[in-house]
């Protein structure tokens, strides 16, 4: 808060001043009043200074006088006062008046008087304004901090801030989603952003209303900014004030549809409001982190089967939103951390944030459950995301398994359409008829996702029952025996491939997987039909029997065991 040139003309000796030119700059702010009476004074010019001179040192040099106006404008000076022109320069050149008008720089003329008659009263007024501004800032900061310390939340802070600036205020979170708003009492919303917020009543992305360049700059620069918009007849300004603590961006306050930029007092109020909101967020984050640690500890122990007492499971489950009387289906979800999407850059060279990917996946899983009207919770536990889906009551075992399996694939489809092709692994254990069996369901899901990583590339959604044959192979064939089984079963073909650099083993495996269809096998291997026929004929010679009458069980078993051992 300070004074303008227009304000200064109502103070002390300046009451006698005459405005010669530059009236369009009378709203320039003044921070100090200086005297210049030497030729090279420009090196001492300061921003927002109202400069005083007699032009005695430049009395015979109109070019130097004109240059002084240019220098004052270039440094952001507030204006120039010429004292006692009749005594020192006889008259003020018309070219000087014309230049001041061109620059919109106030040019004032004072009668024969002392500098002190101007400097002392104007500086006293500036200091009074600064003292008042400091007192106001301290009062606003104290009020906002007190709201937080009394345990009141975001809505109370926004309401108080609205009362201070008499304008609507909206709040967007760190993801630039609108999460709150307040308006002065009795004021009807006119800004589109505020009206849509009140109509929809849920989080709205700022990206639907503002250009990405503006939002990116707000997040990364963390500086207040104005956004101009409107029609040819009317322009409006939307003011953005970032909520920051240290180097961390926690969101932004928005005042929509301003006619002009905020004055200093209201900007101070915005700064105080942003600081108080940041304090509130930090406090809530600390509480949330403590709660999350307790939640993580509980679910880790529950999924590992370390909570042996059923009464303890029931009492702690209620605290974290889990109905211990229900039947559950455990789904394990992981991002493919080896994909280009999870690494530093994707194929287009764009930077990707791993934490943002994981947060987005977490939100999408919640959304998918809501979309399917499924009762369940999503938790972070044991290094993965875990969905605990409550099976509808009165469902028998088979219906429960079908429900869980169908829900798994619906969730996978929802995530796949919104994760921009980022590969995601999903696996579900068997139906858990009792909450004490959740640890078994988790282990089944973990074993299934582990199998999927070995057997499939890209992403997948698998159920424990779908992978039952593979689980059997893995249990009954220790890894140390898998290579021997594979080598013994495919020995003639392996030896031929090694000596001739052939692909007979891969050809036979693909042929069996294609259900003995030569067309599908040729398509999968990108082979001409004649080339495939030649390979199959060579396989028959080496094995001593027709490929169409092979006992496929040992061959499949050997292939699966090899893939599981890699």
Looking at the chain, the whole-number percentage of residues with pLDDT higher than 70 is 93
- pLDDT bracket for residue 544 (50, 70, 90): confident
Q: Which regions of the chain carry the CATH code 3.30.70.270? A: 305-464
Angle subtended at Cα 257 by Cα 6 and Cα 178, rounded to the nearest 5 degrees: 135
Q: How far apart are CA 491 and CA 69, in angstroms?
A: 95
Neighbours of 190 (CB within 10 A): 12
Q: Which regions of the chain carry the CATH code 3.40.1390.20? A: 3-126
End-to-end CA distance of the chain: 71
What average pLDDT score do residues 499-519 get?
85
353 vs 345, higher pLDDT? 353
- pLDDT bracket for residue 201 (50, 70, 90): low
pLDDT for the residue numbered 351: 43
Question: Which SS3 state, helix, strand or coil, does residue 428 take?
Answer: strand
428 vs 140, higher pLDDT? 428
* Bridge-based pairing state of the strands 225-230 and 79-83: unpaired
pLDDT for the residue numbered 497: 85
- The token duo for 542 is 């080496």
The DSSP letter of residue 77 is -
117 vs 393, higher pLDDT? 117
Q: How far apart are CA 16 and CA 110, in angstroms?
A: 7
pLDDT in tens, 410-442: 999 988 888 777 888 999 998 888 888 888 999
Q: How far apart are CA 322 and CA 366, in angstroms?
A: 15
pLDDT in tens, 142-185: 777 777 777 788 888 888 888 888 889 899 998 888 888 888 88
Q: Which class would CATH give 3-126?
A: alpha beta
Q: Of 476, 425, 415, 412, nearest to 452 (Cα)? A: 425
Q: How far apart are CA 522 and CA 506, in angstroms?
A: 12
Q: Of 46, 272, 2, nearest to 137 (Cα)? A: 272
Q: CATH number of 151-284: 3.20.20.60, 3.30.70.2740, 3.30.450.40, 3.40.50.300?
A: 3.30.450.40
Q: Is the pLDDT of residue 36 over 70?
A: yes
- pLDDT bracket for residue 340 (50, 70, 90): low
Report the side by side order of strands in the sheet with 18-21: 18-21, 107-110, 79-83, 49-53, 32-35
Residues 6+ apart with CB under 8 A from 533: 518
Neighbours of 122 (CB within 10 A): 24
The DSSP letter of residue 186 is T
The rounded mean pLDDT for the chain is 83
Q: Is the pLDDT of residue 328 over 90?
A: no
pTM for the predicted model, two decimal places: 0.51
Which region holds residue 28: left if phi is over 0, alpha if psi is between -120 and 50, else beta?
A: beta
Question: Which SS3 state, helix, strand or coil, does residue 526 take?
Answer: coil
Residues 155, 180 contacting (CB under 8 angstroms): yes
- The token duo for 517 is 């269809």
- pLDDT bracket for residue 111 (50, 70, 90): confident
Neighbours of 465 (CB within 10 A): 16
Q: Is the pLDDT of residue 194 over 60?
A: yes
Element (H, E) at 101: helix 94-103
Q: Tell me the angle at which helices 482-489 and 491-500 cross, rounded to the nearest 10 degrees.
A: 80
CATH homologous superfamily, domain 305-464: Reverse transcriptase/Diguanylate cyclase domain (3.30.70.270)
Backbone angles phi, psi at 480, to 5 degrees: -65, -25
Q: How far apart are CA 330 and CA 381, in angstroms?
A: 12
Residues 507, 525 contacting (CB under 8 angstroms): yes
Neighbours of 116 (CB within 10 A): 10
Cα separation values, 68 from 48, 76, 389, 489, 541, Å: 15, 12, 77, 97, 102
Angle subtended at Cα 364 by Cα 359 and Cα 370, rounded to the nearest 5 degrees: 135
Burial string for 521-545 (b: 16+ CB within 10 Å, else e) reads bbeebebeeeebeebbebbeeebee
pLDDT for the residue numbered 106: 95
pLDDT for the residue numbered 325: 79
- The token duo for 6 is 């227009």
- The DSSP code sequence of 329-391 is EEEEEEE-TTSTTTSSB-TT--B--HHHHHHHHHHHHHHHHHHTT--EEEEEETTEEEEEEEP
What average pLDDT score do residues 205-234 get?
85
pLDDT for the residue numbered 347: 39
Q: Is the pLDDT of residue 39 over 90?
A: no
Q: Is the pLDDT of residue 79 over 90?
A: yes
Helix, strand, coil shares, percent, the chain, to 5: 55, 15, 30
Residues 125, 15 contacting (CB under 8 angstroms): no
Looking at the chain, the whole-number percentage of residues with pLDDT higher than 90 is 17
Residues 6+ apart with CB under 8 A from 139: none
- The DSSP code sequence of 376-407 is EEEEEETTEEEEEEEPPTT--HHHHHHHHHHH
Q: How far apart are CA 417 and CA 304, in angstroms?
A: 32
Give the lowest-confidence range in 132-146, 257-271, 412-426, 520-534: 132-146
pLDDT in tens, 346-387: 433 334 567 778 888 888 898 888 888 888 888 888 888 999
pLDDT for the residue numbered 346: 42
Residues 6+ apart with CB under 8 A from 266: 164, 165, 167
Q: Which regions of the chain carry the CATH code 3.30.450.40? A: 151-284
């Amino acid at each position: 808060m300070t004074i303008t040139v227009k304000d200064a003309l109502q103070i002390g000796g300046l009451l006698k001043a005459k405005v010669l030119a530059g009236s369009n700059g009378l709203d320039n702010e003044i921070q100090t009043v200086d005297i210049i009476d030497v030729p090279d004074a420009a090196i001492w010019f300061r921003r927002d200074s109202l400069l005083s001179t007699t032009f005695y040192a430049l009395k015979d040099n109109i070019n130097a006088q004109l240059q002084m106006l240019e220098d004052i404008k270039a440094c952001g000076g507030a204006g120039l006062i010429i004292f006692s022109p009749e005594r020192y320069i006889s008259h003020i050149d018309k070219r000087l008046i014309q230049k001041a008008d061109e620059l919109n720089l106030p040019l004032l003329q004072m009668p024969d008087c002392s500098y002190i008659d101007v400097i002392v009263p104007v500086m006293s007024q500036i200091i009074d304004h600064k003292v008042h501004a400091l007192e106001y800032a301290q009062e606003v900061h104290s009020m906002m901090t007190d709201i937080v310390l009394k345990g009141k939340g975001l809505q109370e802070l926004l309401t108080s801030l609205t009362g201070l600036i008499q304008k609507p205020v909206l709040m967007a979170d760190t993801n630039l989603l609108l999460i709150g708003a307040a308006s002065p009492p009795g004021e009807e919303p006119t800004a589109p952003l505020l009206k849509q917020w009140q109509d929809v009543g849920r989080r709205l992305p700022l990206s639907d209303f503002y250009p990405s360049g503006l939002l990116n700059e707000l997040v990364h620069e963390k500086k207040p900014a104005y956004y101009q918009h409107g029609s040819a007849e009317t322009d409006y300004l939307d003011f953005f004030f970032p909520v920051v603590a240290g180097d961390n961006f926690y969101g932004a306050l928005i005042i929509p549809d301003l006619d002009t930029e905020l004055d200093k007092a209201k900007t101070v109020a915005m700064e105080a409001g942003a600081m108080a909101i940041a304090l509130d967020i930090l406090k809530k984050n600390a509480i949330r982190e403590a709660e999350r640690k307790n939640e993580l500890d509980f679910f880790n122990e529950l999924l590992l089967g370390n909570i042996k007492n059923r009464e303890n499971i029931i009492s702690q489950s209620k605290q974290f939103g889990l109905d211990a009387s229900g039947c559950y289906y455990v789904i394990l979800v992981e991002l493919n951390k080896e994909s280009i999407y999870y690494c530093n850059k994707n194929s287009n060279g764009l930077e990707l944030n791993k934490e943002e990917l994981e947060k987005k996946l977490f939100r999408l899983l919640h959304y998918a459950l809501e979309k399917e009207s499924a009762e369940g919770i999503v938790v972070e536990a044991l290094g993965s995301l875990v969905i605990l889906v409550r099976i509808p009551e009165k469902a028998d075992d088979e219906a429960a398994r079908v429900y869980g399996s169908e829900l798994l694939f619906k969730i996978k489809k929802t995530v796949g359409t919104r994760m921009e092709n980022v590969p995601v692994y999903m696996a579900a254990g068997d139906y858990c008829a009792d909450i004490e069996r959740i640890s078994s369901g988790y282990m089944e899901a973990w074993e299934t996702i582990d199998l999927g990583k070995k057997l499939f590339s890209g992403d997948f959604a698998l159920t424990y029952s779908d992978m039952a044959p593979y689980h059997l192979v893995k249990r009954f064939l220790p890894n140390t025996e898998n290579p021997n089984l594979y080598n013994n079963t495919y020995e003639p073909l392996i030896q031929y491939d090694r000596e001739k650099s052939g692909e007979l083993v891969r050809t036979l495996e693909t042929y069996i997987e294609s259900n003995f269809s030569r067309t599908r096998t040729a398509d999968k291997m990108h082979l001409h039909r004649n080339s495939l026929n030649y390979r199959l004929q060579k396989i028959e010679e080496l094995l001593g029997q027709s490929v169409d009458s092979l006992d496929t069980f040992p061959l499949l078993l050997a292939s699966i065991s090899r893939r599981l051992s890699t």
